[in-house]
Amino acid sequence: MTTTAVVGTQWGDEGKGKIVDTLAIEGGIIARYAGGPNAGHTIYVNGKKVILHLVPSSVTRPGTINIVGPGVLVNPDILLEEIVIAQAYGSTVLLDPAAHIITPWDVQLDKLREAASGGSAIGTTLRGIGPCAESRTGRRGIRLGDLALHVGDLHAALEARNYAAERIALIKNYGATPMPLDGLVVWCAGFRNLTQHFGDTRAVIHETIGSSGYVLFEGAQGEQLDIDRGTYPFVTSTNTGIDGIAKTTGVRRFDKVIGVAKAYITRVGNGPFPTKLDGELADKLRELGHEYGSTTGRPRDVGWLDLVLLKYAIRMSGITELVMTKLDVLTGVRKIQVAARYLLDGKPLDRLTTLTTEVLNRVTVEYVEVDGWQEDITCCRSFSDLPRAAQDYVRFVEREAGLLITMIGVGPERDAIIMR
Ligand code: GDP
Ligand code: IMO
Ligand code: MG
């Protein structure tokens, strides 16, 4: 058995959920390690669409043990809903008591800050991620483990280190009315039931690895949204790449690090996007690919596959193999463009340049054009079923990336996948 990680290589929404659902077919331990309810992972179970935000995308696989790790920022309302889904499918959810809770104060602050930011807004999912992550790093937030406290102790935990008073003052500073502290205590106390799902998730993960069991880590977001390596400040607040795993669970040896890339690329929210498309083709791909946020419903910006970003993600996260999703969406595009390299001030960008927002805002893109195909590929189940031009596209990306593409998505449904 293996220790495998699935990470996004772009700006999120690469189709990680479907890949995790596929890889969990034989059970095992599956762990979310980063992000929070900003994530939206879509899977199809017997034709039914299920969107998950906090628990791993394997919860509809009976017998799986699904971990919400210590690095996940948790909205308890959403967690409760998703535990019900897991129970209905006969899987288990295990919560780490060290995971931080996103409070209504955090959600309110996220909304107020974004609204007040005008042209410099990040375009967040408004799920309270940034404010919660601040409290976490500032060592003053509340955690799932605090839900086990009695009301008086919960009150004291929220007041400790001036946490509640500062949050309330911050919200009032925007002229808004915060939930009072007593209200927040009652709100927290309402989630005491979650304590029955607590477990020592690190111990479970390490014991499973020690006994050669299957452990699968599910990434949220993508490399370019990583707080340390992405397009700051247009990023999220956790480590979305591979190091999010080591940082929070202590696992740092992997048999496979699977990088998921769409056959094109999308971004939702603000920030640089060198290969962004406008006009008719963008609209067509958005409609064909149903490129609307799984969490917010916002239309996603659409662009050509970017090999510079892909190679960066491979290097930064130590990716060992690739998955290409949504190849079917490119059907009918006569000539496909792929970003091959960037020019900065007229000179090719050095291979190892760190792709900061400043760099990405200034580059011009050189494209390679490859032939498209017209045939419907949604029924293809083996590589040789694909039209020659589609095979050539996959092989071209493999050659450029220097890694094998081991799975190819040809539709949203569970079985719409080519295994190689
Ligand atoms: P995630 O956040 O990375 O899990 O991805 P999302 O669920 O946010 O977005 C991916 C979308 O593409 C979802 O609507 C999936 O159902 C869909 N999807 C995944 N793989 C494929 C594929 O190979 N082809 C098509 N057409 N849709 C796919
Ligand atoms: P999955 O796991 C796509 C984006 C937001 C915004 C930025 C910061 O489904 O791939 P935040 O709410 O985290 O403070 O927003 O990050 N973002 C995502 N974009 N997919 C996601 O998750 C995302 N999670 C956050 O749109 O640009
Ligand atoms: Mg998503």
Ligand nearest the Cα atom of residue 236: 2
Q: Is the CB of 411 under 6 A from ligand 1?
A: yes
Q: Is the CB of 40 under 6 A from ligand 1?
A: yes
CB atoms within 10 A of CB 395: 12
Alpha carbons 184 and 257: distance in angstroms, whole number? 40
Per-residue confidence (pLDDT) for residue 351, from 0 to 100? 86
> Where along the chain do its domains lie?
2-82+202-419, 100-195
Q: What percent of the chain has pLDDT over 90?
A: 98
The most distant pair of C-alpha atoms in the chain lies apart, rounded to whole Å, by 68
Q: Which atom of ligand 2 is nearest to the CA of 124?
A: 15
On the question of pLDDT at 70 being above 90, the answer is yes
* Of 13, 110, 243, 301, catalytic: 13
User: Does any ligand 1 atom lie closer than 6 A to the CB of residue 97?
Assistant: no
Architecture of domain 100-195: Orthogonal Bundle (1.10)
- Of the listed ligands, the closest to the CA of 269 is 2
Is 41 noted as a catalytic residue in this protein?
yes
Q: List the catalytic residue out of 21, 41, 96, 226.
A: 41
Spatial separation of the C-alpha atoms in residues 199 and 91, rounded to whole Å: 15
Report pLDDT for 26.
87
pLDDT for the residue numbered 204: 98
Instruction: Calculate the CA 420 to chain-centre distance.
Output: 24
| Among the listed residues 34, 18, 27, the one whose alpha carbon sits nearest the alpha carbon of residue 91 | 27
Looking at the CA of 6, name the nearest ligand.
1
Which ligand number lies closest to the CA of residue 325? 1
Name the residue of 13, 221, 223, 296 whose CB sits within 8 Å of the most ligand 2 atoms, as the mutation to test its pocket.
Answer: 221
Cα(12) to centroid of ligand 3, in Å? 6
Q: Quick: pLDDT tens for 224-249.
A: 999 999 999 999 999 999 999 999 99
Q: Is 35 in the pocket of ligand 1 (CB under 6 A)?
A: no
pLDDT of residue 361: 97
Q: How confident is the model over 21-37, as pLDDT tens digits?
A: 999 998 999 999 999 99
DSSP 185: H
Q: What is the mean pLDDT of the chain?
A: 97
User: Is 155 in the active site?
Assistant: no
Q: How far is the CA of 403 from the centre of ligand 3 (A)?
A: 24
Instruction: Please tell me if the CB atom of residue 125 comes closer than 6 angstroms to any atom of ligand 1.
Output: no
- Confirm or reject CATH 3.90.850.10 for domain 2-82+202-419, answering yes or no: no
Extract the tokens encoding 66: 């699904």
Nearest atom within ligand 2 for CA of residue 240: 2
| Cα angle: 407, vertex 258, 323; to 5 degrees | 25
The rounded percent of the chain whose pLDDT value lies above 70 is 100
61, pLDDT greater than 80: yes
Dump pLDDT digits (tens) for 111-141: 999 999 999 999 999 999 999 999 999 999 9
Block residue for tokens 């079923």: 385
CA–centroid distance, residue 39 to ligand 2 (Å):
6
Q: Which atom of ligand 1 is nearest to the CA of 44?
A: 16
Instruction: Give me ligand 2 centre to Cα 42, in Å.
Output: 14
- Could you read off the pLDDT of 311-350 as tens digits, one per residue? 999 999 999 999 999 999 999 999 999 999 999 999 999 9
Those residues with Cβ within 8 angstroms of residue 407's Cβ, 6 or more apart along the chain or in another chain:
19, 22, 323, 324, 417, 418, 419, 420
Ligand 2 pocket residue status of 8, Cβ below 6 Å? yes
pLDDT at position 417 over 90: yes
